[in-house]
């Protein structure tokens, strides 16, 4: 582990969230000096607070301990086209298994409960569908997947959602690939 690299990553994430060292320290019930020592590489966060620290910075323990760098071989691409296909498969499940099938109703009920949405209504609404695409892509980014912003722009047309995805890419330390002007509306 490289304490300086971890410290720089903590500082980058803290600033990206708009927090001061004092703000982050208060969230974790620590002194701002502790945060300062992490950020300068003088010390590492105690293991007892790693999960809370990662939640506050919206990252994972793995990424934090690697200084924001994915482990070799973990850089898997995520295609927007595959996300769209995944949602089509959900709809097809109802068609092929029957909408009263335990498999289909269980999937829908599970997603509705976990996400606090009405999946079937969202699937019928093009705008809500885009929100779900964006959510899946953002979850992928947070878990270390790479995405092509230009390809995403072919599936997601709402500029606010694209900007949100850009922010998550920046937070994950990935330069947005395909971030050309033609993606913007």
Please write the tens of the pLDDT for every residue from 113-152: 988 999 999 999 999 999 999 999 998 888 778 888 899 9
Residue with tokens 């919206």: 58
Hey, is 146 helix, strand or coil? Answer: strand
Question: Which pLDDT value is given to residue 177?
Answer: 46
The whole-angstrom separation of Cα 161 and Cα 32 is 34
Domain presence at residue 72: no
Please write the tens of the pLDDT for every residue from 104-124: 999 999 999 988 999 999 999
Write out the two tokens for 137: 């892509």
Domain presence at residue 49: yes
Q: Are residues 51 and 88 in the same domain?
A: no
Q: How confident is the model at residue 178 (pLDDT cuts 50, 70, 90)?
A: very low
Q: For the whole prediction, is pTM greater than 0.85?
A: no
**pLDDT greater than 50 at residue 27:** yes
Question: Which pLDDT value is given to residue 131?
Answer: 93
Q: Are residues 49 and 99 in the same domain?
A: no
Domain presence at residue 108: yes
């Amino acid at each position: 582990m490289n304490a300086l690299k971890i410290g720089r990553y903590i500082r980058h994430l803290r600033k990206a969230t708009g927090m001061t060292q004092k703000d982050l320290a208060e969230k974790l019930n620590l002194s701002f000096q502790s945060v300062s020592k992490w950020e300068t590489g003088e010390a590492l966060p105690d293991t007892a607070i790693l999960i809370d620290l990662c939640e506050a910075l919206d990252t994972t323990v793995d990424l934090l301990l690697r200084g924001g760098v994915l482990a070799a071989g973990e850089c898997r691409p995520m295609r927007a086209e595959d996300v769209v296909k995944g949602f089509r498969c959900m709809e097809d499940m109802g068609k092929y298994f029957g909408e009263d099938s335990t498999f289909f109703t269980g999937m829908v009920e599970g997603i509705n409960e976990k996400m606090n949405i009405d999946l079937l209504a969202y699937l019928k609404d093009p705008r809500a569908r885009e929100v779900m695409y964006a959510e899946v892509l953002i979850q992928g980014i947070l878990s270390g997947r790479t995405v092509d912003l230009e390809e995403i722009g072919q599936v997601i047309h709402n500029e606010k959602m694209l900007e949100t995805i850009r922010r998550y890419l920046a937070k994950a330390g990935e330069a947005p690939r395909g971030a050309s002007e033609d993606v913007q509306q």
